[in-house]
């Protein structure tokens, strides 16, 4: 079997930065290094980080009160994960009385800045994204009560009258084509709406690489990454949209070799939270498939 690995597979720079920040504290002996919810959406990598003294507390959405002991955790550090948080959550974490370090992806920080700036000018904000995703929950916190999350044209049509000042942004990991379609729909309803394409470059590269793998003759594509990782799930969906068989796995142990054996050329890509060691293992196992 010929295996072609996508150029963009693996950590994006925002995820790598968050991991480096947490690891730097751990390596300096600051224990525990707390993260408010999973630092990244990859279970296997979080297990590695746990072994290094980096401890996940809270919940997926960064909404729960945290059980941390100020008396026994005098050297503890609280690290904000790559997805970002709301201003209210930020104040709560800072109130816990330990060192606070923000590892929000700078690309997500730019989106939050746009939302906050326009909200302060009186704009209503429309966010294209998953309303249950921590990035979107965090972004809504900057909208000053004037934020609306949409995922479809029907939801745009159902929006209340927002007035002349409307802006639109996107969760960083959404489909570019869908964003453009929904932006056009929003403009049709709110002609003066400002539209900001805030889908990050890493996401766009991964989406483009699916087309590239197909052009290189891949008959099926293996997508590696957590099942709670938004960008990984999007990649798997995009493979199917392009009409290729898709095998979404978290590790090489989940590979269905009996199904994959019938393909002569298989592409491999991975979400932005997928570590290189998982990708390497999948590629090596596939290459040994007769």
Q: Which active-site residues does the annotation give? A: 135
Measured distance CA(35)–CA(25) in Å, rounded: 12
Measured distance CA(115)–CA(123) in Å, rounded: 9
Measured distance CA(253)–CA(250) in Å, rounded: 8
């Amino acid at each position: 079997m010929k295996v072609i690995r996508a150029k963009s597979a693996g950590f994006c720079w925002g995820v790598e930065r968050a991991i480096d920040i947490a690891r730097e504290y751990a390596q300096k002996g600051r224990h525990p290094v707390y993260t408010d919810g999973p630092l990244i959406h990859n279970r296997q990598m979080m297990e590695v980080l746990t072994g290094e003294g980096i401890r996940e507390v809270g919940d997926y959405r960064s909404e729960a009160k945290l059980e941390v002991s100020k008396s026994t955790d005098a050297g503890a550090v609280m690290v904000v994960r790559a997805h970002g948080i709301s201003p209210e959550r930020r104040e709560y974490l800072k109130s816990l009385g330990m060192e606070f370090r923000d590892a929000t992806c700078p690309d997500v920080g730019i989106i939050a800045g746009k939302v906050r700036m326009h909200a302060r000018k009186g704009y209503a904000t429309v966010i294209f994204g998953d309303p249950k995703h921590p990035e979107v929950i965090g972004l809504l916190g900057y909208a000053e009560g004037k934020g609306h999350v949409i995922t479809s044209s029907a939801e745009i049509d159902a929006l209340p009258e927002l007035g002349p000042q409307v802006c639109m942004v996107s969760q960083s990991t959404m489909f570019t084509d869908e964003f453009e379609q929904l932006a056009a729909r929003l403009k049709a309803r709110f002609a003066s709406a400002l539209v900001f394409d805030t889908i990050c470059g890493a996401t766009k590269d991964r989406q483009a690489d699916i087309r590239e793998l197909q052009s290189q003759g891949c008959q099926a594509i293996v997508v590696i990454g957590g099942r709670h990782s938004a960008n990984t799930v999007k990649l798997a969906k995009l493979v199917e949209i392009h009409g290729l068989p898709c095998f979404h796995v978290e590790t090489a142990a989940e590979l269905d070799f009996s199904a994959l054996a019938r393909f002569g050329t298989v592409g491999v890509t991975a979400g932005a939270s997928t570590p290189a060691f998982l990708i390497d293992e999948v590629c090596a196992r596939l290459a040994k498939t007769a």
